[in-house]
Amino acid sequence: MNTEPSRDFYPPALQCPSMHCDARPKPDNVSLLVIHNISLPPNQFGGKHIEAFFCGKLDKNIHPYFSEIAEMRVSAHCLIKRNGEIIQFVPFTQRAWHAGKSSFQGRSICNDYSIGIELEGADHIAYTPIQYASLVKLSHYLMLLFPQIKLSRIVGHCDIAPERKTDPGPMFDWSFYRQCLVAL
């Protein structure tokens, strides 16, 4: 019996497969963790709109903003809801489409070598304690699976696309998050 942890899936996560992904150019080269935020509609929480968006099933008629984004083909590996629930859309060994035009330490196309984690949230709204707890556990799991991911290689979307993105925003407590990770 194989007791190795899966390099594809996080066991506690609810699986919600997205077709918005493809093969990584070098599957064994995962070395970056990118933290994002998302809320649909903007600054509103709850419901299944994020899941529908990442799976290409967002109904553009539900909200005016949705008509602007419904045709976009984006995804993340995982989403952490406000209640701490984790939903996984893309296997970690696949390339999710979360970073867009991006660069880290002189290396472009971050989607090729990163894992994208979305927090249900907004730049100027505090994240919940249970979200941090879930993020710390998931991050620790990923750091064990992909040893090239070190604390110095856990960044925000704002760090890899500073001209375009601001997430996870000023309300994300990097110090607290890193302290929790180090304590594990």
- pLDDT 10s digits, 11-52: 999 999 999 999 999 888 999 999 999 999 999 999 999 999
| Tokens at 23, concatenated | 């093969």
For tokens 């963790």, name the residue.
Answer: 33
Element (H, E) at 66: helix 64-69
**Closest to 181 in 3D by CA, of 147, 151, 149:** 151
Quote the pLDDT of residue 3: 55
Q: For helices 174-183 and 129-145, what crossing angle results, to 10°?
A: 50
pLDDT of 4 higher than 80: no
How are beta strands 14-15 and 107-108 bridged, if at all?
Answer: unpaired
As a whole number, the mean pLDDT across the chain is 96
Quote the pLDDT of residue 28: 85
Catalytic residues, by residue number, are 118
CA distance 33 to 56: 24
C-alpha torsion angle, residues 95, 99, 104, 108 (rounded to 10):
70
Quote the pLDDT of residue 143: 97
Q: What is the pLDDT of residues 118-154, one digit of tens each?
A: 999 999 999 999 999 999 999 999 999 999 999 999 9
87 and 78 Cβ atoms separated by less than 8 Å = yes
Q: What is the pLDDT of residues 95-119, one digit of tens each?
A: 999 999 999 999 999 999 999 999 9
CATH class of 14-183: alpha beta
Domains in the chain: boundaries: 14-183
pTM confidence score: 0.96
Task: Give me the mean pLDDT over the 59-74 stretch.
Answer: 96
